[in-house]
């Protein structure tokens, strides 16, 4: 199946929710930034030169000698996709919103299971990312590392013995690596402890962002925590460091949920069951309300208040509830109100199916 | 079964919701005020004299020659009941809240099906009331009239050829009759037409009150409309007049619901189904929220959006959701929070039973 065929389906590997601690660690992501030697960074290239970069990368991806390392990646130029299809890639976290600017010069290669994607001509010539379910930073890094090694059999990377990998933005110089986890911290939020946790995280050189990366509001109690530093530490150190901090936050989140469930059991059950009841019954649902209700329900699944519904369904619905997905499924433009009605119908039907 | 045994069960005839237009006219009520001749009005009596009045009325009720007219009434002095049991009678609309003041002097006689009750020593020596489901003012009046005739076989009523029945409060002089209907006017409320309707009603000599009579807030979109005038019109005229005005309001309410359902179908369905989803799932429900949700659900039943749930269940739950009923069912004192939890449990269980 081509990217064009698969883009409308909200089924990426990370959504399966079968990774370790996936009830709280929704996903782990590792990406590295790479640039080709002797070619200016993407923002300095005209369309023709950009396409030369894409051609080089296509060749590297299709290098059969490296295919065991790289896996089955399929490269698509963004210009081949409709605006809706491009947005769907963003909603599935396979590309960054930045890749939509001047998209004619850009491309993306995606593995069949959508766990690996390689952005071409974003801020750097290559951004290799791996996205897995649960706390699997090490595993994600190993996959990225293999793909990186495989591509390097063909490509010449810009690398300095002193600085490491050279990148368009100095904050990526060194390992060129960004590792992140998406955490569902609703217990810490309800108990008003989240501010303190984030304050501590900041002191450790980590950043917290909302669901869709930098500059967006924290929706549905999902927070992305990532490293800021790419220089002076090895990739393994970065991954180990973030893994260990994530484990600490996990412990705090579990403790806050447990105490909530002991001290305010009826309050929590009420909150969870109301969310469930509204999701299964509402006829109009805004994206914001749906996200808030998913968060409450996710808490209920984690606390085993709600059985019979799996986090996987919430991961899928969270992606499918986005405007682009709804329009793709409807096969037509939708007004804001039509979108809210379509979203409610979709969610209700999915829960009905899941309960059968 | 004695009143003491039956008081904890929320099963009165009006709750069956089987009367004409019972989807909007929840109940019809007629009561007449009567006083015994040559005995001062109740507020002027000491306890001993009050008990003499009660004794006279008991004798009249037990007059076997009149039993076909009166029916099977059972008289209980309020002092025989616990405070909780007295409150339950108010919640079931069998007695007025006023009967709880100086209750030692007071009594009530109730028919087995709880459609007829006779208050003794409220504002007047006798208040004979009949409460039926739907728009049945004429039927209620005929029942009250028969009981009245039956009691008059024994009792001597204070009556003036010029003024009619003499009553403690001059607003009741004449027929001594108050007729009222309890209407669920949620369509007119949502469409902001209710103010205009009430304004028109006022001009016709009628009064509008909230659920529990004078001075209480209109809860759950239920409004009691009653006549103000008792003098200068016959009982039949009063009943016919209120019936005809009720029919007009009914037409307006149905029209507003229909237009809402045509113009804003998704909005109405969303409102109704959310109410249903919350009632079936919440673990904490205040009385106020429960009443609001019952109102939305009642609208959904009326519009045939919700099948499988009958207005009867809502009538029962509306009564059972009151603090006194919850404590009676729990068999113990409940804090405000415990009450909200118990209420949610009760409602959820009843809906589960109804859906089986």
CB contacts under 8 A, B 273-312 vs A, are 273-274, 276-278, 280-284
**Each residue's pLDDT tens digit, B159-185:** 999 989 999 988 888 889 999 999 999
Judge whether residue A205 has pLDDT over 90.
no
Q: What is the pLDDT of residue A219?
A: 63
Q: How much is the average pLDDT of B187-192?
A: 93
Confidence of residue A215 (pLDDT cuts 50, 70, 90): very low
Q: What is the pLDDT of residue A213?
A: 47
Confidence of residue B212 (pLDDT cuts 50, 70, 90): low
Contact B284 A267 (CB under 8 A): yes
How far A302 CA lies from chain B's nearest CA (Å)?
A: 18
Confidence of residue B286 (pLDDT cuts 50, 70, 90): very high
Average pLDDT value for chain A: 92
Q: B20 with B134: CB under 8 angstroms? A: yes
Annotated binding-site residue? B211: yes
Q: How much is the average pLDDT of B36-53?
A: 94
Here the ipTM equals 0.89
Contact B276 A278 (CB under 8 A): no
Lowest mean pLDDT of A168-172, B75-79, B291-295, name the range: A168-172
Confidence of residue A209 (pLDDT cuts 50, 70, 90): confident
Q: Which two tokens stand for residue A332?
A: 């037509």
Contact A344 B267 (CB under 8 A): no
Contact A270 B284 (CB under 8 A): yes
Q: Where are the beta strands (DSSP E) in B112-209?
A: 116-120, 126-133, 159-160, 164-165, 177-184, 206-209
Q: What is the pLDDT of residue A218?
A: 53
Interface check for A349 against chain B (CB to CB < 8 A): the answer is: no
CB contacts under 8 A, B 3-32 vs A, are none
Q: Where are the beta strands (DSSP E) in chain A?
A: 25-34, 73-77, 107-111, 116-120, 126-133, 159-160, 164-165, 177-184, 206-209, 222-227
Q: Which residue of A has its CA nearest to B284?
A: A270
Q: What is the pLDDT of residue A174?
A: 87
d(CA A81, CA A87): 10
Judge whether residue A212 has pLDDT over 80.
no
Judge whether residue B216 has pLDDT over 60.
no
Contact B283 A277 (CB under 8 A): no
Count of A–B CB contacts within 8 Å?
44
Phi, psi of A50 (to 5 degrees): -60, -40
Q: How much is the average pLDDT of B21-48?
A: 95
**Each residue's pLDDT tens digit, A64-88:** 999 999 999 999 999 999 999 999 9
Mutation site, B264, B270, B279, B345, interface A, largest A CB count within 10 A: B270
Q: What is the pLDDT of residue B265?
A: 95
How far B277 CA lies from chain A's nearest CA (Å)?
A: 4
How far A268 CA lies from chain B's nearest CA (Å)?
A: 9
Confidence of residue A1 (pLDDT cuts 50, 70, 90): low
Average pLDDT value for chain B: 93
**Each residue's pLDDT tens digit, A10-23:** 889 999 999 999 99
Phi, psi of B146 (to 5 degrees): -65, -45
Minimum-distance CB partner of B283 among A266, A283, A284: A266
How far A83 CA lies from chain B's nearest CA (Å)?
A: 30
Confidence of residue B214 (pLDDT cuts 50, 70, 90): very low
The DSSP output letter for B161 is T
CA distance from start to end of chain B: 30
Q: How much is the average pLDDT of B123-129?
A: 97
The candidate with the shortest Cα–Cα distance to A235, out of A172, A291, A182, is A172
**Each residue's pLDDT tens digit, B304-356:** 999 989 999 999 999 999 999 999 999 999 999 999 999 999 999 999 999 88
């Amino acid at each position: 199946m081509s990217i064009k065929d698969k883009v409308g389906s909200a089924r990426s590997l990370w959504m399966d929710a079968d990774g370790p601690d996936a009830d709280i660690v929704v996903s782990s992501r590792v990406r590295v930034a790479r640039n080709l030697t002797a070619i200016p960074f993407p923002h300095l290239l005209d369309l023709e030169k950009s396409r030369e970069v894409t051609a080089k990368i296509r060749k590297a991806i299709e290098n059969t000698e490296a295919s065991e390392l790289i896996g089955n990646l399929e490269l698509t130029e963004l210009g081949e996709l409709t605006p809706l299809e491009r947005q769907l890639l963003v909603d599935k976290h396979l590309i960054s919103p930045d890749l939509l600017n001047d998209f004619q010069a850009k491309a993306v290669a995606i593995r069949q299971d959508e766990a690996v994607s390689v952005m071409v001509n974003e801020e750097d010539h290559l951004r290799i990312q791996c996205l897995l379910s649960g706390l699997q930073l090490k595993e994600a890094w190993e996959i990225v590392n293999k793909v990186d090694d495989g591509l390097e059999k063909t490509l010449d990377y810009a690398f300095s013995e002193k600085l490491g990998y050279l990148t368009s933005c100095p904050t990526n110089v060194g390992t060129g690596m960004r590792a992140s986890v998406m955490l569902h911290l609703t217990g810490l939020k309800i108990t008003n402890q989240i501010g303190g946790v984030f304050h501590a995280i900041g002191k450790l050189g980590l950043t917290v962002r909302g669901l869709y990366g930098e500059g967006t509001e924290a929706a549905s109690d999902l927070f992305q925590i990532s490293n800021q530093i790419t220089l002076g530490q090895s990739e393994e150190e970065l991954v180990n460091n973030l893994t260990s901090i994530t484990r600490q936050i996990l412990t705090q989140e579990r403790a806050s949920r447990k105490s909530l469930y002991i001290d305010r059991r009826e309050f929590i059950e009420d909150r969870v069951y109301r969310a469930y009841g509204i999701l299964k019954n509402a006829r109009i649902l805004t994206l914001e309300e749906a996200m808030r209700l998913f968060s409450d329900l996710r808490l209920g699944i984690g606390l085993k208040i709600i059985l019979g519904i799996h986090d996987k369904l919430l991961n899928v619905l969270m992606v499918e509830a986005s405007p682009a997905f709804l329009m793709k499924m409807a096969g037509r433009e939708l007004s804001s109100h039509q979108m809210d009605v379509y979203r409610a119908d979709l969610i209700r039907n999915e829960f009905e199916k899941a309960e059968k």
